[in-house]
Structures are given as C-alpha cells and as structure tokens.
C-alpha cells in the first residue's frame, strides 16, 4: 500500500462516486408495453436523487434485436424504439444533469448484432472481401472445412463459431447473433471513436465498456488448452473465481496486450472534452494485476473490481480483497471500485443465503463497501433488498439459458436478477408500468412490501438504510485514500478510514464494539456488534 493521492479539491467527480446501474428493460415502463424505457427512467430520476447517488450507468439502449437484451447492438448511434428516441435520451440527460446526476452509458465494442449493417454487408460480400475483414471469418478445419476453425466455446454455451451458407465460419464469443469484431482492422477502431464522439457530443459523462478485455484475440487463433469435458466457455463468474484462487486458465481469447492501445486512444479522445468524462472497464481478467493494467494513467478511469462480489462470507476473504485491491493499484493513480451486484450475477441477498440472514449479510457487506475509498457501484433493486427471482423455465429469455436448456448442463441464466422493479401497490406490475399490463418477466406475488413506496414510508426499511448510508458516506474523510489498521480477529474484520472505524462481524456470535459514536449500522446494535452486522464508529 502507499501511493500518491489526487488532491481532493481537484479530484474528478467519479473518483469516489456512487454509481447506480439502471437496466432499462426492467427499471420503469412509461408506455405500458411491458418493457422499461427511457421516459420511464427520466420519470423516476428523483428516486435516484433521493437515494443520494452521484451517477447512473444505463445498460444498452441502442437499436438492437434484443437477443442479449441490448448487448447485441445493430446501430450504436440510435435508440431502440422499444426504449424511445434520441430526443428521449436528450431529455433524460438534461433532467439527470438538472438533478446533479452524471450519466454513464454502456458501450459494446467487442461484438455487434448480426443485424448490424456491417455484418449484413459482410454476409452479402462473401469470403475475402473487405466487408468480411471487419469480423473474424475463417475457413473451417477437417474435410470440407466442416469443423470449426478452433475449439473455442461461447460464454453462453456451445461452439464459439457458426457457419454461413458459403462455408466460412465466424467467431462469436457470446450468442451466435453477436459476431466479434476484428480489432486488428483499423476501420473498427475508427468506427468506435466516432461512436464515442457521438455520445460525448450529446453530453454523456462516461462509458461502461462491455467485455473490455475481449477486443483482441491471440492472432494465431490457436486452440485453447482446457479440460475437454467443458461445454461452455469461461463465464464471467468462473473466470473471476480463478482470479481469487489464482489458478490461471489458458485464455487466447481474452486479455491480449494489444487491447491497451485502444484505451490509450480513447483516453485522448475523452481528454478533449470538458468535465472529467470517464470510462469503466468490464474486464473479467484473471488477476488483480491484470485488472490494474486497464487503469494505467493513460488508459481507462476505472475497472470493476469483481473480487468484492466474489468474496466468501468470511472476514479473512473480505480482508484479502481489500489488501490485494490496494496492492494491485499501488502503481497507478486510479481509485478502486467495489461492487456487489449487477445484471449478470445472482443478487447478493440470495448469494448470502436469502431470507432475513441473507438480507442482514447483504446490508453489512454493503455498509462495509460504502466505507471504502473509491467508487461503489449499486445495481437497481439492491436498495430494496430484492432477492433473486426463480423465473419459471417457460418465461426465461437469457441466451445462456436458451443455448443450454436442452443440454446435460443447463444454465438457469440471468433473468432472475432482471425482474422489473416494484414501485408501488400490492399486485404485479407494482406500478412498473401503467395499468395492469404485465412486464416482460413475471414479478413474484408478495413483492408489494418491497416496493419503493412501501419502503419509503418505513424508517426501518432497506431503502431507508441505503439513503442513510449514502448520506453518512458523505461525512467520511475524503482525504483518507486508503484504509489503515486492517485486522482480522476470528470472524471480525476491522479497519479505519480516517477517523472512522469500520467493523464487520461475519461470525455467529456478538463481537465487542469499539469505543466511540456509532454513526451508521447495518442492523440493530446494542453494546455489542451482533452477527451479520457492520458498523461505522467515529
Ligand atoms: C457483459 C454484459 O454485462 C452481459 O450482460 C452481456 O451478456 C455480455 N457482456 C455480452 O455483451
């Protein structure tokens, strides 16, 4: 540990920001078609202002056939009619800025939709054409080229290659409808700089960069060395589990050194604009050190630190993540990030066991996270303590489910963390949309008590807890850029940030409380710190 810090008064807005992820399909539906939209987000921005976050990150809203719910983009410079129009995007930006909220949009540079004009042109133009050279088309192996060019697997299951009628194969690390670009072709890089400028000119404050570690593949496209019983490519979680265990997989498709030139170029583009525009990498790299390479001073602003989300419910595990995060960032001036949930992972209340205990642990992990220097990313609905929903098979829509449901290793998919938000009322759609029309994923019965309106009226609710915690976070010492006195005593984690001592009890028995004033607690405390509880003591 130990590095120079940015002076607080000149720090960019994102350095210690709390950034709230909006998944547009599931946030709020203004037009009543069962799918959330941009006017729905704009109408509910006051919820985010009242919560006390600094910014929102909006998952993709571009034109898209929605096979991966927007992560399959067919036009990067237009809004999908499902979500609204460019005018709706401008109105959202204007209202957010009026409320003092920054807006980060999602950029998907690894792959497009197969409906993108470039991919359609590539199909039409045929083998060897400049149009095909924007994607990764290859001849197959074996007699008549009937075998895929290599053994790579899609993250969503099955081969990462599909064959087109003229016999060539194209690479898709995700769904078949998401062909990977060939970033060794300069046309691709130029196109994305134009996309960045399009959105920067419209006033966005930053970009969350999807699959930031994936753009370049090892040039030989050699086979991956792996256990041949595998049927799916490494999923985000599996990748990152190996990050924790430090057993490094052979990954010729991820984290190639050339990718960093892209982010150096983007850094320069963003620097031409006022107002500390930022980038945050979604990069499931295998080690904290490789994550830190994305945030070198001339590259991206931040990278998601998924190790907090993956940590087991033990004091040593959380302590390790804190130490290894600060150690890995020691050579760069980037601040850390912390995240517990997003639209790709099981909601953290459920990961921690669900029910009252899951919720108590989730609140304790959240409070601990919010005390740390750097940015915290929240996912819509966690402020309501929502649990993962068991979406019935016939209602599931995630491509990872659709691609694996008929295999011997079906993946339940990610629909369960994407169920539309309950805003008010006692019956679905809980004011997610107008009237009684039902949303695109079914909401559980009994979610009324979890709604924003119900919790806003209850000072003991999880929503009230989040509001208080975010307000208390603003009183923490912004000059304290690191934690000190980090200690683990059995199942109790303790550290200091400035004049505040943070204690997290992951054990099953009450722990002693340090002397001082409890300024924030994740649950009830008396003269002891109960199990599954965290406190800030000043
Ligand atoms: C990561 C996104 O978060 C996920 O939702 C998406 O399916 C993949 N990237 C592919 O774009």
| For the CA of 400, the nearest atom of ligand 1 | 7
Give the distance (Å) from ligand 1 centre to CA of residue 525.
40
Going by alpha carbons, the residue nearest to atom 10 of ligand 1 is 71
| pLDDT tier for residue 232 given thresholds of 50, 70 and 90 | confident
- How many distinct structural domains can be found in the chain? 3
Going by alpha carbons, the residue nearest to atom 3 of ligand 1 is 344
- pLDDT score, position 117: 98
- Per cent of the chain over pLDDT 70 is 96
Q: Quick count: other Cβ atoms within 10 Å of Cβ 100?
A: 9
- Residue 19 to residue 377: CA distance in whole angstroms: 5
Quick check: is 7 in a domain? yes
Do residues 88 and 1 both lie within one domain?
yes
pLDDT of 2 strictly over 60: no
Quick check: is 90 in a domain? yes
Quick check: is 396 in a domain? no
Going by alpha carbons, the residue nearest to atom 2 of ligand 1 is 210
Give the distance (Å) from ligand 1 centre to CA of residue 156.
10
Do residues 126 and 25 both lie within one domain?
no
Angle at which helix 186-202 crosses helix 259-271, to 10 degrees, equals 30
- Residue 96 to residue 22: CA distance in whole angstroms: 13
| For the CA of 111, the nearest atom of ligand 1 | 11
Which of 259, 335, 275, 331 is CA-nearest to residue 304? Answer: 335
Q: Which has more pLDDT, 313 or 248?
A: 313
Of the residues 59, 85, 106, the one at which a domain ends: 106
| pLDDT tier for residue 4 given thresholds of 50, 70 and 90 | very low
Q: Please, are residues 137 and 213 in contact by the beta-carbon 8 Å criterion?
A: no
pLDDT tens digits, 164-208: 999 999 999 999 999 999 999 999 999 999 999 999 999 999 999
pLDDT of 216 strictly over 60: yes
Q: Please, are residues 138 and 146 in contact by the beta-carbon 8 Å criterion?
A: no
Q: Please, are residues 425 and 431 in contact by the beta-carbon 8 Å criterion?
A: yes
The CATH code of the domain that includes 527 is: 2.60.40.1180
Of the residues 54, 79, 106, the one at which a domain ends: 106
Q: Copy the structure tokens of residue 1.
A: 């540990």
Do residues 63 and 124 both lie within one domain?
no
Going by alpha carbons, the residue nearest to atom 11 of ligand 1 is 71
Quick check: is 516 in a domain? yes
Q: Please, are residues 142 and 136 in contact by the beta-carbon 8 Å criterion?
A: no
Give the distance (Å) from ligand 1 centre to CA of residue 225.
24
The CATH code of the domain that includes 82 is: 3.30.750.90
Give the distance (Å) from ligand 1 centre to CA of residue 155.
10
Which of 104, 91, 105 is CA-nearest to residue 14? Answer: 104
Look at 128-137, 226-235, 313-322, 342-351 and tell me which has the smallest mean pLDDT. 226-235
pLDDT of 1 strictly over 70: no
Task: Taking residues 494-502, report their average pLDDT.
Answer: 97
- The CA radius of gyration of the chain, in Å to the nearest whole number, is 23
Quick check: is 332 in a domain? no
Tell which one of 112, 232, 344 to mutate to probe ligand 1, the residue whose CB is within 8 A of the most ligand atoms. 344
Tell which one of 68, 112, 209, 235 to mutate to probe ligand 1, the residue whose CB is within 8 A of the most ligand atoms. 68
pLDDT of 445 strictly over 90: yes
- Residue 457 to residue 460: CA distance in whole angstroms: 9
The CATH code of the domain that includes 167 is: 3.90.400.10
- Residue 522 to residue 504: CA distance in whole angstroms: 10
Going by alpha carbons, the residue nearest to atom 8 of ligand 1 is 71
Quick check: is 209 in a domain? no
- Residue 451 to residue 430: CA distance in whole angstroms: 7
pLDDT tens digits, 410-432: 999 999 999 999 999 999 999 99
Do residues 2 and 82 both lie within one domain?
yes
Give the distance (Å) from ligand 1 centre to CA of residue 404.
17
| For the CA of 72, the nearest atom of ligand 1 | 11
pLDDT tens digits, 112-159: 999 999 999 999 999 999 999 999 999 999 999 999 999 999 999 999
Of the residues 106, 131, 157, the one at which a domain ends: 106
Quick check: is 237 in a domain? no
Q: What are the beta bridge partners of residue 533? A: 505
Show the beta-strand stretches assigned E in 498-537. Answer: 500-505, 511-512, 518-521, 528-529, 533-537
Q: Which has more pLDDT, 288 or 231?
A: 288
Task: Taking residues 79-90, report their average pLDDT.
Answer: 98
pLDDT tens digits, 261-301: 999 999 999 999 999 999 999 999 988 889 999 999 999 99
Do residues 2 and 99 both lie within one domain?
yes
Going by alpha carbons, the residue nearest to atom 4 of ligand 1 is 344
- Which residues make Cβ contacts (< 8 Å) with residue 355, sequence separation at least 6? none
Do residues 51 and 101 both lie within one domain?
yes
| For the CA of 211, the nearest atom of ligand 1 | 9
Active site residues: 210, 272
| pLDDT tier for residue 241 given thresholds of 50, 70 and 90 | very low
Q: Copy the structure tokens of residue 259.
A: 């990718």
Do residues 164 and 91 both lie within one domain?
no
Do residues 57 and 134 both lie within one domain?
no
Mean predicted lDDT score pLDDT of the chain = 95
Do residues 150 and 97 both lie within one domain?
no
Quick check: is 407 in a domain? no
The SS3 assignment for 351 reads: helix
pLDDT tens digits, 501-515: 999 999 999 999 999
3-state helix, strand, coil in the chain (%, to 5): 30, 15, 50
Do residues 136 and 92 both lie within one domain?
no
- Residue 526's domain comprises 484-537
pLDDT tens digits, 449-473: 999 999 999 999 999 999 999 999 9
Is-cis flag, bond preceding 74, omega within 30? Answer: no
- Residue 98 to residue 380: CA distance in whole angstroms: 21
pLDDT of 237 strictly over 70: no
pLDDT of 235 strictly over 80: no
- Pocket of ligand 1 from Cβ distances under 6 Å: 68, 71, 108, 174, 210-211, 282, 343-344
| pLDDT tier for residue 363 given thresholds of 50, 70 and 90 | very high
| For the CA of 59, the nearest atom of ligand 1 | 3
- pLDDT score, position 234: 60
| pLDDT tier for residue 338 given thresholds of 50, 70 and 90 | very high
| pLDDT tier for residue 483 given thresholds of 50, 70 and 90 | very high
Show the beta-strand stretches assigned E in 75-138. Answer: 75-79, 102-107, 137-138
Residue 220: exposure state from Cβ atoms within 10 A (0-12, 13-18, ≥19): exposed
Do residues 144 and 166 both lie within one domain?
yes
Do residues 47 and 75 both lie within one domain?
yes
- pLDDT score, position 357: 98
Task: Give the best-scoring range by mean pLDDT among 100-109, 243-252, 280-289.
Answer: 100-109
Q: What is each CA distance from 232 to 117, 153, 214, 227, 410, in whole angstroms?
A: 29, 5, 16, 11, 10
Give the distance (Å) from ligand 1 centre to CA of residue 149.
24
Q: Please, are residues 148 and 169 in contact by the beta-carbon 8 Å criterion?
A: yes
């Amino acid at each position: 540990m130990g590095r120079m810090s940015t002076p607080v008064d000149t720090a960019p807005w994102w350095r210690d920001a709390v950034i709230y992820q909006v998944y547009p399909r599931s946030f709020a539906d203004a037009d009543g078609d069962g799918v959330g939209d941009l006017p729905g987000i704009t109408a509910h921005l006051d919820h985010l202002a009242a919560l006390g976050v600094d910014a929102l990150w909006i998952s993709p809203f571009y034109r898209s056939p929605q096979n991966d719910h927007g992560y399959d983009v067919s036009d990067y410079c237009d809004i999908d009619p499902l979500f609204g129009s460019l005018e709706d995007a401008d109105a959202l930006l204007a209202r957010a800025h009026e409320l003092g909220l920054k807006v980060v949009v999602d950029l998907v540079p690894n792959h497009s939709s197969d409906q993108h004009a470039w991919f359609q042109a590539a199909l039409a133009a045929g083998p060897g054409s400049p149009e095909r050279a924007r994607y990764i088309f290859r001849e197959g192996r074996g007699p008549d080229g009937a075998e895929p060019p290599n053994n790579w697997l899609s993250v969503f299951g099955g081969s990462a290659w599909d064959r087109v009628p003229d016999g060539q194969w194209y690479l898709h690390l995700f769904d078949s409808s998401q062909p990977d670009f060939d970033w060794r072709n300069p046309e691709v890089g130029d196109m994305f700089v134009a996309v960045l400028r399009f959105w920067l000119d419209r006033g966005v404050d930053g970009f969350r960069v999807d699959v930031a570690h994936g753009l370049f593949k090892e040039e030989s496209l050699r086979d991956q060395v792996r256990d041949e019983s595998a049927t799916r490519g490494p999923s985000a979680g599996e990748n990152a589990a190996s990050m924790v265990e430090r057993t490094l997989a052979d990954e010729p498709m991820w984290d190639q050194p050339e990718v960093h030139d892209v982010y150096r170029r983007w850094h320069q583009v963003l620097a031409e604009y006022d107002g500390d525009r930022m980038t945050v990498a979604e990069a499931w790299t295998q080690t904290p050190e490789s994550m830190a390479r994305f945030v070198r001073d001339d590259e991206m602003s931040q990278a998601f630190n998924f190790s907090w989300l993956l940590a087991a419910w033990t004091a040593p595990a959380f302590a390790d993540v804190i130490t290894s995060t600060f150690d890995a960032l020691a050579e760069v001036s980037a601040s850390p990030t912390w995240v517990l949930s997003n639209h790709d992972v099981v909601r953290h209340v459920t990961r921690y066991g669900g029910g009252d205990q899951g919720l108590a642990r989730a609140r304790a992990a959240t409070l601990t996270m919010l005390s740390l220097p750097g940015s915290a990313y929240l996912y819509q609905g966690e402020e309501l303590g929502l649990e993962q929903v068991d979406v019935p098979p016939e209602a599931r829509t995630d491509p990872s489910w659709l691609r694996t449901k008929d295999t011997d290793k079906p993946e339940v998919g990610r629909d369960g963390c994407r169920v539309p938000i309950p805003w008010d009322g006692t019956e679905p759609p809980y004011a997610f949309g107008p009237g009684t029309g039902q949303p695109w994923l079914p909401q559980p019965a009994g979610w009324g008590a979890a709604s924003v309106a119900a919790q806003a009226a209850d000072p003991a609710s999880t929503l009230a807890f989040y509001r208080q915690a975010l307000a208390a976070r603003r009183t923490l010492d912004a000059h304290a850029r690191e934690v000190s006195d980090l200690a683990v005593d059995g199942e109790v984690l303790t550290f200091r940030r400035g004049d505040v001592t943070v204690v997290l009890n992951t054990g099953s028995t009450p722990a002693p409380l340090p002397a001082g004033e409890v300024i924030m607690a994740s649950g009830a405390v008396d003269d002891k710190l109960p199990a599954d509880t965290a406190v800030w003591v000043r």
